[in-house]
A and B are shown apart, each in its own frame.
Chain A
Amino acid sequence: MRTTPGRSARGARLLTRRGAAVAAAALLVTVLSACGPDIGSGGDSSASGSVLQAPADNSPKGEITIWDRSGDLFKVFDATIKEFNKKYPGITVKHEAVDIDSKLQNTLITGTDVPDGVFLDDAKVGSYVDHLWNLQDVLAPYSKDIAPQKVAVNTVHGGIYGVPFDLDPGLLFYNAKALSAAGIDPNGIKTYDDLLAAAKKYQQYKPGAKPIHLEQDAFNSQLQLEMYASQFGTSLADANGALRLDSAPYHQILTWLDTVRKDGLGTRAEYLKPTDVGALDSGDEVFYPWAIWFDFAPQQQLTATKGDWRAMPLPAWSPGGARSGAMGGASFVIPKDAKNPQLAWLFYRFLTFEQAGYSAVYGPNAVYPGGLNTSIPSYRPAADPAKPLFRPIDAMGGQDVWKTAVEASQEIPGGAPIPSWWAAAVDYLGTDLQKMLDGSLTPQQVIDQAGKDIQTNLVERK
């Protein structure tokens, strides 16, 4: 059949007819691409060792653009700018609420409209170091007073790439009212074996209850796994990037989680999604080993059990072991392409290391009348158990969570750096962890399978 070119209006068939043309075009593209645009010839590749220096000027002037993720934290930081300007009237802070996950990478790669400072999850700092200022010199005066865990997560190849902001100690949150009704004394829970025993006892008291939270989101479950590992002073990879998954601590943690599952003691739910909130409010889920930011739940999301929740240090993995580990957290990074990196440093120094700054962040403000209590400062002088920055929390029965958290945080070991591929590992380790919690993999299989996948797809390809 012959149709003249102008006449055919048959979309599908057109595709075949043009098949040859497509192939020709593809060939042309291949040939031309040899003389295509230059990749990565941008000038700053040589500057990989750039170390930021503090400004000499005493009354610096200029404008800085600061990115934060939107939400309550944005409002908190926004309110601190006024305090900052009391000290540095010459610096104008342009504060933007930005969807950092989807924008930062593109912005840094293309070097366009780069902000002077960015609030970034610790887990992501490592993947951006090529684009960031090394802050080792400016941080030097403060380093010894920063929580060792935070220094470790911001250290890559010997340089420090983030101004450590918050520390997020893991705590054991528990429903005090429900436990006392069941005759369980939380103070008796000193190890994870004790926690298992307490959970069993609670289940006998309330049949059908699944007392311990077992995270169902792959990302968060991997984050929580690292909290447990942090108690051992270990993490997925060492400072040289070598994988440490196949080790005694991970065996012990995974086996424990698997036991919780096997014994029917775990509530499978995503962190504070409706299912989770339901189980928490019904008294079926009473133990929540999580970072301090879980205290948001009794304050904002739980209705029936609001006021019943308390926090205590995590159990230890062996008697006498560390009673806390870090989970999550964020730091401030300064991109190399920033226009005023030194001024951004002044801003972050103010927020992190100066009393007027960190008091403005954590102290009572318009957003949090009692103060920002979902994390604590990582700067030791700011985190004094005796000098609380935020007030006791009513929704937790008036508990002085500041004291609990700060004391727990002092037990967090260092030596747990975060590899640059950490977030990408969720597809392997996070997923396999979920399979184990659903009963389709054994702890050993998780270690073998995830270890192999991470090694071939991430460690060896970065």
Chain B
Amino acid sequence: MTTRPVPVRAVKVFRDEQRAEPATTAAPRARRTLPWRRRLAPYAFVLPFVAVFLAFSVYPLFFTLRLSFTDWHGAGAAHWVGLGNYRYLLTNDAFWASLGNSGVLWLLIVPVQLVLAVIVAVLLGAIKRLRGFYRVTFVVPFVTPLVAVAQIWIVLFDQNYGPVNTVLGALGLPQVGWLVDSMWAKPTLALLFLWKTTGFVVLIVLSGLQQIDGGLYEAASLDGAGRLRQLWSITVPLLRRSLMFCVVLQTLAVFQMFVEPYVVTGGGPYTSTTTAGLFLFKHINSGDLGTGAANSFLLVIVVMALSLLFVRLLRAED
């Protein structure tokens, strides 16, 4: 997209401005000359956090890491098995299948959610009336207890008695085995996740929109760029950081998801909704703690790699 007219140039100018911002801060340059109080202050500030963090996050983290090299099942002595648990998982089809299931769910959720959120945020920016009303409704799913939502989903999407199929039938559309057909279970689960979290993503995108300089649109429309062109050439590029933030957050959430499939489908039909998070949960729940620990660290690596990949993609276009 190098041959775009004015809007792109406008974007560039805007970005350069951002970069040229003066970088004044408590920079390292001054460290030696800083008064002792100012040097010690940050340590004091992080202390309460670090104390709690060490005790209830880092300590269990160590424990879990150690666990991942053992065969501990929760009783008796643990035996060191080296990388055995990792080797077992990496050569296990079910492990890869669980990652695959989460991958498919990611594809069903994240792109849809981003597009939807951008559209909604732009529309919300364009209207004045009922704005508050819409904003509240978008967050209602967010505050509904998850276990209740999962149960509601089971009833709503029942193959024969669920209102969703009733409505489809009334419209003359084919009815679907939402939760009993291995092809449809993932989309049904994705729908639950979308329903529950899209409102939050909308809010983040909204905030990104508010930071965009209105002058850009003005310049663009003076140049005769249509509204869609403006959306594509100004809004989307300038929203990229907000969108990336959402992508990283939602990637974490999708790959760790386990309560939704656990309650709604139990991981089935077949193992089509056994997500990475649920697969891990099953190890832990059946007492295979060492494998569960190893599984979770493999999951961390996957999520970290994906996050870095997304951030790299963002950079490549910069």
Q: Which residues of A contact B26 (CB under 8 A)?
A: 6
Q: Would you list which residues of chain B between 1 and 35 have a CB under 8 Å from chain A? A: 19, 21, 23, 25-27
A36 touches B65 (CB 8 A): yes
Across the interface, A12 reaches (CB within 8 A) one of B66, B94, B161, B241, namely: B241
Nearest residue (CB) in B for A10 is: B241
Across the interface, B286 reaches (CB within 8 A) one of A11, A32, A219, A424, namely: A424
A12 touches B310 (CB 8 A): yes
**A157 on interface, CB distance cutoff 8 Å:** no
A130 touches B270 (CB 8 A): no
Nearest residue (CB) in A for B314 is: A12
Nearest residue (CB) in A for B310 is: A12
Q: Which residues of B contact A421 (CB under 8 A)?
A: 286
CA distance A12 to B241 in the complex (A): 7
**A7 on interface, CB distance cutoff 8 Å:** yes
A4 touches B23 (CB 8 A): yes
**B61 on interface, CB distance cutoff 8 Å:** yes
A7 touches B92 (CB 8 A): no
B311 touches A36 (CB 8 A): no
**A248 on interface, CB distance cutoff 8 Å:** no
Number of interface residues of B (CB under 8 A): 57
Across the interface, B247 reaches (CB within 8 A) one of A5, A6, A12, A16, namely: A12
A431 touches B159 (CB 8 A): no
Secondary structure type dominating chain A contacts: helix
CA distance A454 to B141 in the complex (A): 40
A427 touches B75 (CB 8 A): no
Hey, what's the 0/1 contact readout for B245-281 against A, CB within 8 Å counting as 1?
1011000000000000000001111110010000000
Q: Which of A40-48, A63-71, A287-295, A318-326 contacts B (4 or more CB under 8 A)?
A: A40-48
CA distance A111 to B76 in the complex (A): 12
Nearest residue (CB) in A for B71 is: A461
A12 touches B65 (CB 8 A): no
A40 touches B270 (CB 8 A): no
Across the interface, B66 reaches (CB within 8 A) one of A36, A45, A278, namely: A36
Q: Which residues of A contact B72 (CB under 8 A)?
A: 39-40
**B49 on interface, CB distance cutoff 8 Å:** no
**Contact A2-B62, Cβ < 8 Å, known A12-B311, A434-B270:** no
A30 touches B65 (CB 8 A): yes
Q: Which residues of B contact A278 (CB under 8 A)?
A: 160-161
Q: Which residues of A contact B266 (CB under 8 A)?
A: 217-219
B74 touches A130 (CB 8 A): yes
**Contact A40-B287, Cβ < 8 Å, known A15-B311, A431-B271:** no
CA distance A274 to B267 in the complex (A): 20
Q: Which residues of A contact B314 (CB under 8 A)?
A: 12-13
Q: Which residues of A contact B287 (CB under 8 A)?
A: 105, 109, 127
**Contact A39-B63, Cβ < 8 Å, known A108-B74, A278-B161:** yes
Cβ contacts A to B, 26 pairs, < 8 Å: A4-B23, A4-B25, A5-B25, A11-B244, A11-B248, A12-B245, A12-B247, A29-B65, A36-B62, A36-B63, A37-B66, A39-B78, A45-B75, A45-B77, A101-B285, A102-B285, A109-B74, A216-B269, A423-B286, A424-B286, A427-B271, A431-B270, A434-B270, A435-B270, A453-B94, A457-B94
